[in-house]
């Protein structure tokens, strides 16, 4: 319970202390957009690293060298609120996360997310969902990476399982031929969700697979690219399960 209280206090303090920083960020952006973006990125990454350290996460990173220095589409499995906290703290380039629409209503947090090119997906509105995907495609063309969890929501099922991937997410890559980076996360739900509201010291594995360029795939694999990437992630999380025992 002490870890949970510590993480909650830190998050609340960070959000409120950051209020006077917003005008500074906006001012920096008027003169140098890139400096504004990377200042925001590094500050939020610092906060996220503090959070997962308070939670007692022992992180092992595999395959980070597979990420090319270009805008990519990260595709990850999703079992915990800490998936974003951990994965976002590792991004070297500007990266916008696709989140559910409801998060846009959270004050202060949503402001930082908008600074960082995050997108809010309305899962109940097909037309608005398409607009979000088109905006993500535009961000890729601008040099901004995108991360999405194509299971659609947190998987609360059995360990080492994946929910069916939503194929629409992959249009971000097929329309731009940007690299898809499979991003597997093991044991993140053991940090918090398994014993809510307590947090416990936890070994977590994040592995980045080799880049997949849609135009290099066989026609059948490209047609079912969601299944293709899902199979890679399934193999990876099953293999890495041995490392967190």
Does 119 sit behind a cis peptide bond, omega within 30 degrees of 0 on the bond before it? no
DSSP-derived secondary structure for 12-40: HHHHHHTTTHHHHHHHHHHH-HHHHHHHH
β-strands 72-76, 145-148 pairing:
parallel
Residue pLDDT, tens place only, 178-191: 999 999 999 999 99
Per the structure, how many domains does the chain have?
A: 1
- Residue entry with tokens 């609340």: 12
Q: What is the CATH number of the domain that holds 192?
A: 3.40.1130
Domain that holds residue 200: 2-244
78-88 mean pLDDT: 94
Picking from 109, 66, 115, the residue whose alpha carbon sits closest to that of residue 85 is 109
3-state secondary structure 118-163: CEEECCCCHHHHHHHHHHHHHHHHCCCEEEECCCCCCCCCCCCCCC
Q: At what angle do helices 33-54 and 2-17 cross, to 10 degrees?
A: 160
Residue pLDDT, tens place only, 111-169: 899 989 999 988 788 888 889 999 999 999 999 999 999 998 888 888 889 999 988 89
Please check the confidence at residue 175 and state whether its pLDDT lies above 80: yes
């Amino acid at each position: 319970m002490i870890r949970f209280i510590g993480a909650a206090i830190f998050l609340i303090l960070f959000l409120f202390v950051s209020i006077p920083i917003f005008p500074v960020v906006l001012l920096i952006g008027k003169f140098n957009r890139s400096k504004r973006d990377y200042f925001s990125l590094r500050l939020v990454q610092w906060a996220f690293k503090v959070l997962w350290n308070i939670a007692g996460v022992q992180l092992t990173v595999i395959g980070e060298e597979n990420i090319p220095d270009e805008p990519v589409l990260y595709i990850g499995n999703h079992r915990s609120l800490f998936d974003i906290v951990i994965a976002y703290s590792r991004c070297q380039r500007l990266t916008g996360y696709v989140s559910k629409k409801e998060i846009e209503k959270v004050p202060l947090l949503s402001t930082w997310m908008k600074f960082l090119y995050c997108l809010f997906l309305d899962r109940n509105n097909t037309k608005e969902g398409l607009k979000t995907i088109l905006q993500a495609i535009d961000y890729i063309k601008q040099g901004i990476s995108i991360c999405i969890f194509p299971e659609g929501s947190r998987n609360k099922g059995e360990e080492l399982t994946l929910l069916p991937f939503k194929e629409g997410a992959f249009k971000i890559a097929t329309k731009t031929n940007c690299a898809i980076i499979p991003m597997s996360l093991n044991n993140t739900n053991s940090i918090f969700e398994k014993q809510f509201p307590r947090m416990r010291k936890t070994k977590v594995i994040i592995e980045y697979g080799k880049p997949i360029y849609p135009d290099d795939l066989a026609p059948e694999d490209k047609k079912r690219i969601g299944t293709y990437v899902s199979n890679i992630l399934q193999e990876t999380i099953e293999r890495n399960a041995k490392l967190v025992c």
